[in-house]
Structure 1
Amino acid sequence: MRPLDIAYMGNMLPVIASYIPLTLFMAVVGMVLALVLAAVFAVVRVLRVPIIDRVVAVFISFFRGTPLLVQLFLFYYGLPQLFPSLTSLDGVTAAIIGLTLHFAAYMAESIRGAILGVDRSQWEAASSIGMTQGQVLRRIILPQAARVAAPTLMNYFIDMIKSTSLAFTLGVTEMMGAAQKEAAGSFLYLEAFLVVALFYWAIVEILSVGQRWIERHLGRAVAR
């Protein structure tokens, strides 16, 4: 059994680190878009908007029921065959679209559950003083639901960061893609993938600290 090439791993650190901004960019943009989309879907599902509710239900079922990798391949390799204009779609954009739609489906159900978890009497009390459904959602229900859903949504953001590693299958050179290229040239696969694994681990641990802080902050807000 050969020992780990520590010197090689040390040289890999700045190489992989230089791709962290791209990884975070895809995750942050995907998370923001997914959150907006998920909130809209959740409201549609809660209000049972005719026709649109069934369309959203099918969307959620499809994106929760198929692997993310398959969805990425559909967007990047499949759809351009039907819509030639999509051939200009670059890997980063395709990855962001895939991440957005995939996680929006999961987050929509979490937000819907949080909305339904708010006591029904608050809907009735707000309606009794003449507030519309939109006003009740915006001013009373959604702020409470956000506190409930926040820890789960943070978990989805962590999952999204790890899922950006699939972008290398679309030709995107992010952290995983860079590790793959370095390993292919040196044949030191263990060292290369160990370095990228440590980077993902460090990022997730930092975010986990932030998640615990948010949970404590929200817990104190609810207690008051």
Structure 2
Amino acid sequence: MQFDWQFFWKSLFTPSDAFLEGLTLTIVVSVVAMVLATVVGLAIALMRRSPYAVIRWCASIYIWVIRGTPLLVQLVIIYTGLAAVGLYQFHDVSLLGLSVKAAVQAAIVGLTINESAYIAEIIRAGLDSVAKGQFEAAASLGMTTTKLMRWIIVPQALRVMVPPLGNSFNGLMKTTSVLSVIGVSEMFLVTQSISSATFHTFEIFIVAAIYYLALTTVWTYIQAWIENRLSRQLGIEARVSLTQRLLGARRPGAPVAEPLELKEAR
């Protein structure tokens, strides 16, 4: 069995409509799930910092359960398990003129729940990275909690949270491949269908791998841009290059990121 180069190049540069639809669905589900997971994760992280023990325990149990069970199991429970026990069944709905299938809804819910548990810990760690003295100083100045978070804590915590949040989204795009188990026609399931119909398994899966790599590479560039923008706002000279982000390469003796005010104080 020989490698069909003609089929490979055709699939790579002129993919079928079904493949492009799967690619689009992969991107849409990833973005929507990440946005929702960030909102839920923020809420869970704030619950972890609540002065009430019951709220803290609820958040901790949520993180423990979600992080301790596989995403695949969670998807099956959400999509088929809830319907089997009569709690809830997903149905196709029309949203802004678009038809959203039941499996896609369940996929977004499942990814949101799963990812939010990890994001909650990222946000918690980011907030904890800010010195407690700044909280006390803001309180002594009479700042409200909202102003404290908006102007002092969040800008500093974001610099710590952006890299792991970006990595989470990077992993989320690749994790969408498991959505095929509940029948979501994302890129991986479409690739399987093309493989079964054409018997060009090796060729089409290499094409899919290249497209996954392209998606993660584009996001890596966006992530580096976001980190550099935050660095400029915080007065940090060192910049993250795309080569450094992709390959971990750094010039020998290159300076480590350091706020300008620290350098001026020396």
Task: Establish whether TM, by shorter chain, passes 0.5.
Answer: yes
Match of 1:165 in 2: 177
Alignment of 1:66-145 (within 5 A): 66-83=69-86, 85-88=88-91, 90-145=102-157
What is the aligned counterpart of 1:216 among 193, 216, 228? 228
Aligned-partner Cα distance in 2 for 1:87–1:18: 22
Match of 1:62 in 2: 65
Question: Aligned AA for 2:5?
Answer: I
Identity of aligned residues (%): 37
Match of 2:161 in 1: 149
Cα deviation for residue 84 of structure 1 reads 5.0
Aligned-partner Cα distance in 1 for 2:70–2:130: 32
Partner SS for 1:51: helix
Which segments of 5 or more consecutive residues in structure 1 lack a partner in the other structure? none
8 Å Cα contact 1:19-1:175 kept in structure 2: yes
Match of 2:252 in 1: none
TM-score computed with the length of structure 2 as normaliser: 0.78
Match of 2:30 in 1: 27
| 1:142–1:49 CA distance, 2 compared to 1 (3 A) | farther
Aligned-partner Cα distance in 1 for 2:146–2:220: 34
Cα deviation for residue 48 of structure 1 reads 4.0
Which segments of 5 or more consecutive residues in structure 2 lack a partner in the other structure? 93-101, 237-259, 261-266
| 1:79–1:40 CA distance, 2 compared to 1 (3 A) | same
Cα deviation for residue 134 of structure 1 reads 4.0
8 Å Cα contact 1:151-1:211 kept in structure 2: yes
Greater radius of gyration (CA): 2
Aligned-partner Cα distance in 2 for 1:194–1:82: 40
Aligned-partner Cα distance in 2 for 1:46–1:140: 17
Cα deviation for residue 175 of structure 1 reads 0.6
Aligned-partner Cα distance in 2 for 1:17–1:153: 27
Partner SS for 2:24: helix
In terms of fraction of residues, the more helix-rich structure is 1
Partner SS for 1:83: coil
State the aligned residue count. 223
Match of 1:186 in 2: 198
Aligned-partner Cα distance in 1 for 2:47–2:149: 12
Aligned-partner Cα distance in 1 for 2:146–2:56: 17
TM-score computed with the length of structure 1 as normaliser: 0.92
Root mean square deviation, CA, Å: 1.7
8 Å Cα contact 2:90-2:103 kept in structure 1: no
Question: Aligned AA for 1:10?
Answer: W
